[in-house]
């Protein structure tokens, strides 16, 4: 019996699962595998007969062990493969390993692929494997490794004139610096890239560096410089076949023109942006491809919405917003945040205050989820202003009261953020000034010493302020959780005849979570949850939307999981951080870390450390 079939039957026999459940689960995962790895599945189908290939695909996808079985099977076949088949097999292994969360396994698979590509003198595959390695370091936030290995990879790509790979890899380094808050370092690296692209007379490289420079200036709130850089990037990237970065540049250029109140220019850019997407879609369809462009179109239509109502064409703006709302369905929280922001602005502009208030409230929940407390307070202030204009004085007063109380605790954080921004702008100006100073050795030496002192001082201040910021966020989160707990107790103790049917259902839901911990099941969905409560998914969704400030069922389940993890991090310090995420019901480490950072504004480890410090101080 082939190894693949053996592992499949062992899985079904040992787990003793009902046949129908096994089939449904395996069919679902098979479709996912075929969709993401069609070439690999086709090669397996060619090697084995159809029945065995189906059993292989079904039985090896449901658990991590199954993916390992596929990998092991391919590795056993590699010795009998040659040429392109061998490279394809090694590429399949790279793709399979990338589905996990093991940096060393990914790097080892890439090393084997690159070694075989070098042996066959296939520079194209060799170059692609090097790009994947760089982005592997980027995804795992391994700055030291990226800095160490990038020069050799860039040298190889330049030698073989793989310029797209070359500048895309270099851009990953700049983005990593920006993500870490090292704006000055990112600016220096961008200048190096620009000089390099100019020396090679490479249009794509000049476009990438202009885009990166615009992002840096945008981060520094230097809108005019950012706009200038983005326009240069657009002009260069329009000449390139790959338009992915061009579309991203149109997006950030529109945002910057909006922030700078240049709405006529914003409208012109948004219209060019839409033409670029339309042309790309038409070209792809002519070649027999159907590109997925909903996200691209959504951001473009949102830009058109703002540009039109800001230039006096509200009717057209409403039409574009409706299109964007359809395109946003089922998309990420980042997309929803942008959509809600534009919806609030438009309906306030139109005087439709009830809609503006609803969208502002939902936007507040999203911003809090991202951990941006300062922006969240701005959203609440806008909401309070709209409430007052709409004649809802009591609601406006309560909202203002909360805002003022929260602002007291955030004032120091806001001051620190402003100082950070001023320091960064000063460092950028110093960098530009360095080009004009005398080339005398003594002057250069003085500049180097001063720069090192400033960098060390800045790094020290940054660490202190980061710790201060996390402490303030921790206190705000705890305060907000206490407020929510008090609200839940009010709902829990309220007489039933004073509650709506949605509030009653929401109370039963919280009792279920508190008593059964149902949310810890990673497979829990809205249908199963509705069945537990003896209701349907529509009633459940309406109850959560009304009582949980516009949240969806999935968002509320994840919120309960995050609250549960937050308590475990404090109450069970001996438990590893990763296992607590699994105990709370998260089936993916990356999802757990991402949602935790979005909600709390820091990593689980930082949250635990701050809670330990606070407990020690309280004990004293």
The CATH number assigned to the domain holding 541 equals 1.10.10.60
Q: Which pLDDT score, from 0 to 100, does residue 18 have?
A: 37
Residue 516 lies in a domain: yes
Structural Rg of the chain based on CA atoms? 27
Give CA–CA dist 313/297, Å, rounded.
20
Q: Which of 231, 262, 259 is nearest to 246 (CA)?
A: 231
Task: Please compute, for residue 574, the number of CA atoms within 13 A of its CA located in the half-sphere on the CB side.
Answer: 0
Q: Domain range spanning residue 22?
A: 1-100
Name the helix (H) or strand (E) containing 351.
Answer: none
Query: Ramachandran region of residue 420, left (φ > 0), alpha (ψ -120 to 50) or beta?
Result: alpha
Alpha-carbon span 227 to 233, nearest angstrom: 10
| Structure tokens, 197 | 């692209």
Model confidence pTM above 0.75: no
* Confidence at residue 282, expressed as pLDDT on a 0 to 100 scale: 92
Answer positive or negative: Cα dihedral of 439, 440, 443, 445: positive
Q: Does a structural domain hold residue 507? A: yes
| Phi, then psi, of 153 in degrees rounded to 5 | -65, -40
Q: How far apart are the first and last CA of the chain?
A: 67
Tokens of 161: 């004139």
Please state the separation of Cα 415 from the chain's center in Å: 27
Q: Residues with Cβ < 8 Å from 512, sequence gap 6 or more?
A: 518, 532, 533
Cβ neighbourhood burial of 499 (10 Å; 0-12, 13-18, 19+): middle
Write out the two tokens for 252: 């950030």
Angstrom distance (rounded) from CA 393 to CA 399 = 10
Q: Domains in the chain: how many in total? A: 2
Residue 151 lies in a domain: no
Q: Does residue 129 form part of some domain?
A: no
Interaxial angle between packed helices 50-59 and 19-36, expressed in degrees from 0 to 180 and rounded to the nearest 10: 100
CA dist 560 and 518 (Å) reads 10
* pLDDT on residue 206: 95
The pLDDT, as a whole number, for residue 380 is 82
Domain boundary pick from 52, 70, 100: 100
- Could you tell me the CA-to-CA distances from 142 to 111, 134, 139, 166 in Å, in that order? 17, 10, 8, 19
Confidence (pLDDT) at 162: 92
Residue 174 · residue 192 · CB < 8 Å: no
Residue 224, Cβ neighbours under 10 Å: how many? 11
Output the pLDDT for position 54.
Answer: 44
Q: Which of 100, 131, 151 is the last residue of a domain?
A: 100
Residue 52, in any domain of the structure: yes
Helix segments in 79-182, DSSP class H: 83-98, 103-119, 123-139, 143-159, 163-179
Query: Residue 490 CB: number of other CB atoms within 10 A?
Result: 9
Per the listing, tokens 């050799």 go with 152
CA dihedral 330→252→186→435, nearest 10 degrees, is: 180
CB 229 within 8 A of CB 223: no
Residue 321 lies in a domain: no
Is 487 among the domain residues?
no
> What tokens were used for 192?
């190096």
The CA distance from 379 to 427, in Å, is 31
10 Å CB burial of residue 556 (0-12, 13-18, 19+) is buried
What's the confidence (pLDDT) of residue 48?
A: 41
CA–CA separation, 384 and 398 (whole Å): 9
Q: Other C-beta atoms within 10 Å of 283: how many?
A: 13
CA distances from 123 to 86, 170, 596 (A): 15, 19, 41
Stretches in the chain below the pLDDT threshold 70: 1-69, 370-374, 406-442, 462-464, 466-467, 469-471, 473, 476, 478, 480-485, 487-488, 618-620
Please choose, from the candidates 115, 598, 146, the residue with its C-alpha nearest in 3D space to the C-alpha of residue 376. Answer: 598
Domain end, chosen from 52, 85, 100, is at: 100
What is the Cα–Cα distance from 145 to 392, expressed in whole angstroms? 57
DSSP 455: H
Half-sphere exposure of 590 (CA within 13 A, CB side): 9
Angle value at C-alpha 81, between 75 and 82, nearest 5 degrees: 130
- Establish if 599 belongs to a structural domain: yes
């Amino acid at each position: 019996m082939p190894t693949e079939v053996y592992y499949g039957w062992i899985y079904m026999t040992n787990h003793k699962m009902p046949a129908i459940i096994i089939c449904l689960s395996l069919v679902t995962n098979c479709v996912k595998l075929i969709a993401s790895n069609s070439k690999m599945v086709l090669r397996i189908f060619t090697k084995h007969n159809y029945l065995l290939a189906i059993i292989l695909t079904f039985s090896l996808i449901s658990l991590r062990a199954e993916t390992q079985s596929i990998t092991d099977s391919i590795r056993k076949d590699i010795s009998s493969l040659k040429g392109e088949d061998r490279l394809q097999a090694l590429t399949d292994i790279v793709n399979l390993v990338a589905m996990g969360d093991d940096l060393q396994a990914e790097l080892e698979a890439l090393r084997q692929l690159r070694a075989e590509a070098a042996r066959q003198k296939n520079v194209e595959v060799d170059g692609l494997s090097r790009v994947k390695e760089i982005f592997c370091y980027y995804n795992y936030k391994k700055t030291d490794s990226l800095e160490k290995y990038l020069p050799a990879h860039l040298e190889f790509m330049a030698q073989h004139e793989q310029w797209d790979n070359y500048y895309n890899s270099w851009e990953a380094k700049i983005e990593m610096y920006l993500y870490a808050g090292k704006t000055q370092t990112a600016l220096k690296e961008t200048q190096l890239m620009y000089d390099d692209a100019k020396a090679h007379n490479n249009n794509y490289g000049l476009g990438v560096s202009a885009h990166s420079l615009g992002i840096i200036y945008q981060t520094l709130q230097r809108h005019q410089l950012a706009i200038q850089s983005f326009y240069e990037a657009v002009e260069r990237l329009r000449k390139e076949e790959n338009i992915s970065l061009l579309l991203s540049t149109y997006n950030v250029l529109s945002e910057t023109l909006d922030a700078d109140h240049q709405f006529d220019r914003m409208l012109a850019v948004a219209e060019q942006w839409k033409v670029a997407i339309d042309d790309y879609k038409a070209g792809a369809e002519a070649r027999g491809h159907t590109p997925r462009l909903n996200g691209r179109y959504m951001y473009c239509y949102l830009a058109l919405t703002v540009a039109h109502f800001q230039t006096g064409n509200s009717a057209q703006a409403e039409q574009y917003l409706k299109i964007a709302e359809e395109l946003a369905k089922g998309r990420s929280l980042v997309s929803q945040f942008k959509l809600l922001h534009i919806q609030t602005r438009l309906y306030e502009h139109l005087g439709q205050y009830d809609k503006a208030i609803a969208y502002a409230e939902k936007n507040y929940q999203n911003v809090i989820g991202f951990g941006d407390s300062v922006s969240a307070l701005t959203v609440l202030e806008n909401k309070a202003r709209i409430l007052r204009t709409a004649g809802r004085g009591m609601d406006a007063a309560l909202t203002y009261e909360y805002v003022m109380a929260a602002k007291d605790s955030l004032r120091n954080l806001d001051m620190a953020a402003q100082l950070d921004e001023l320091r960064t702008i000063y460092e950028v100006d110093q960098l530009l000034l360095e080009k004009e100073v005398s080339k005398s050795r003594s002057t250069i030496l003085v500049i180097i010493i001063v720069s090192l002192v400033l960098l060390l001082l800045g790094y020290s201040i940054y660490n202190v302020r980061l710790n201060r910021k996390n402490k303030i966020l921790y206190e705000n989160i705890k305060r907000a959780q206490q407020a929510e707990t008090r609200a839940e107790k009010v709902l829990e103790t309220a007489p039933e005849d004073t509650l709506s049917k949605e509030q009653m259902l929401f109370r039963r839901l919280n009792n279920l979570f508190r008593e059964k911990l149902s949310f810890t099941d990673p497979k829990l969905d809205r249908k199963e949850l509705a069945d537990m409560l003896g209701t349907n998914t529509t009633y459940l969704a309406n109850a959560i939307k009304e009582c949980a400030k516009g949240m969806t069922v999935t968002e509320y389940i994840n919120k309960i999981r995050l609250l549960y993890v937050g308590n475990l991090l404090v109450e069970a310090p001996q438990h590893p951080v990763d296992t607590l995420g699994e105990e709370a019901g998260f089936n993916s480490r990356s999802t757990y870390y991402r949602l935790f950072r979005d909600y709390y504004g820091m990593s689980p480890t930082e949250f635990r450390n701050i809670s330990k410090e606070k407990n020690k101080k309280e004990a004293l």
